[in-house]
Amino acid sequence: QVQLVESGGGFVQPGGSLRLSCLGSGFTFSTYAMNWYRRPPGKEREFVASIRSGGDTNYVDAVKGRFTISRDDGKYKMYLRMNNLKPEDTAVYYCNVRLDWTDYWGEGTAVTVSS
What is the Cα–Cα distance from 80 to 51, expressed in whole angstroms?
10
The predicted pLDDT at position 100 comes to: 87
- Rounded to the nearest integer, the mean pLDDT of the chain is 97
The predicted pLDDT at position 29 comes to: 97
What is the Cα–Cα distance from 57 to 76, expressed in whole angstroms?
17
Which among 22, 12, 10, 75 has a CA at the least distance from the CA of 49? 22
The predicted pLDDT at position 46 comes to: 98
Q: What is the pLDDT of residues 37-80, one digit of tens each?
A: 999 999 999 999 999 999 999 999 999 999 999 999 999 999 99
CB 111 within 8 A of CB 21: no
Q: Strand pairing partners for 20?
A: 80
Asked whether residue 13 carries a pLDDT value surpassing 90, the answer given is yes
Q: Calculate mean pLDDT across residues 5-29.
A: 98
Asked whether residue 90 carries a pLDDT value surpassing 90, the answer given is yes
